[in-house]
Amino acid sequence: MKQLARLREEVVSWTSFSRHLDDLNELASLGDSSLQQELEAEVARLEAELGKRSFSAMLSGTYDKDSAILAVHAGAGGTDSQDWAAMLQRMYLRWAERRGFDAEILDSTPGEEAGTKSVTISIDGAYAYGFLRSEKGVHRLVRLSPFDSAHRRHTSFALVEVLPQTTMDEVDVEINPSDLKLDVFRSSGAGGQNVQKNATAVRLTHVPTGIVVTCQNERSQLQNRENAMKVLRARLVELKQAAKADEIAVLRGEYTKAEWGSQIRSYVLHPYQMVKDHRTGHETGQTQAVLDGDLDELMEAYLKSTHAAR
């Protein structure tokens, strides 16, 4: 029913767009010069809307229309990398807010001195995964370190994972309850006296694959378990996608391992200001705007390049 409602909405939207175009053609065929200014304004509006629709048409992957689960992990760089992970967390939360998406932190491990070691965020909204899959990979930050007494320039790395948030009736993924190992423990993060006192945090281990998921941000053990199942299901979908991609690559004679590679994007704050995506070559000097969640240009450049490569 959810898929049916989504398809119906899409068909109605395109039908309305087509009808509006026909109406404008009829008005234009009248040859009334007094309507020219109004027609030009409507044509400009339709062209802008068509551009947006053409962009949305690029999001045609299996899970592109789904919500997403995004995880950020601090990499090389010590305290600076943990601070960088926290900056990326803020950036994606601000991006979700701009888009009108609902974002919820499912699990977070704070850094020793500052920032965060890792964070898992659920982002709910149409096409959230389609947009966010452009962010998957290693992100590099170059800046004058606020944690260095000599105020020297440091380079930090963080890994961003993006998973499709599938529904419980997803037929491609089956989770056998007997394959799960459940551990409960006390939450280590902030959340109030009850969270610290009771064993509400959940650790789920999927024995066949060895995937381990923890969730501890909710006061309820049941809610944490539901969130952990949501993340586990997303990771299993990604695992299946990776296996298919490797199989296709082998058939093409282009086998590559699914592992950390070089950075996909660099954020340089010193000695100059620039954000550059190394996959597309797209760059911008508006570093603060990007860190405040203005990612649409970078995402659009990536989606256009991958669409052209197909």
- Between CA 247 and CA 256 the distance in angstroms is 10
Question: pLDDT, tens digit, for every residue of 51-108?
Answer: 878 777 788 788 888 899 999 999 988 899 999 999 999 999 999 999 999 999 999 9
CA 265, chain centre distance (Å): 15
Architecture in CATH of 177-252:
2-Layer Sandwich (3.30)
Q: CB–CB of 132/67 below 8 Å?
A: no
- Between CA 70 and CA 121 the distance in angstroms is 5
261: confidence class by pLDDT, cuts 50, 70, 90: low
- Between CA 75 and CA 164 the distance in angstroms is 23
CATH 3.30.70.1660 fits 67-165+264-309, yes or no: yes
Whole-structure pTM over 0.85, yes or no?
no
Strands 265-268 and 274-277: antiparallel
252: pLDDT strictly greater than 70:
no
Which of 123, 60, 78 is CA-nearest to residue 97?
123
CA distances from 72 to 66, 107, 119, 169, 249 (A): 19, 11, 5, 27, 27
Question: pLDDT, tens digit, for every residue of 145-180?
Answer: 999 888 889 999 999 999 998 765 555 678 888 999
Residues 6+ apart with CB under 8 A from 222: none
* Predicted pLDDT of residue 219: 76
Which of 132, 112, 124, 119 is CA-nearest to residue 90?
119
- Between CA 105 and CA 222 the distance in angstroms is 16
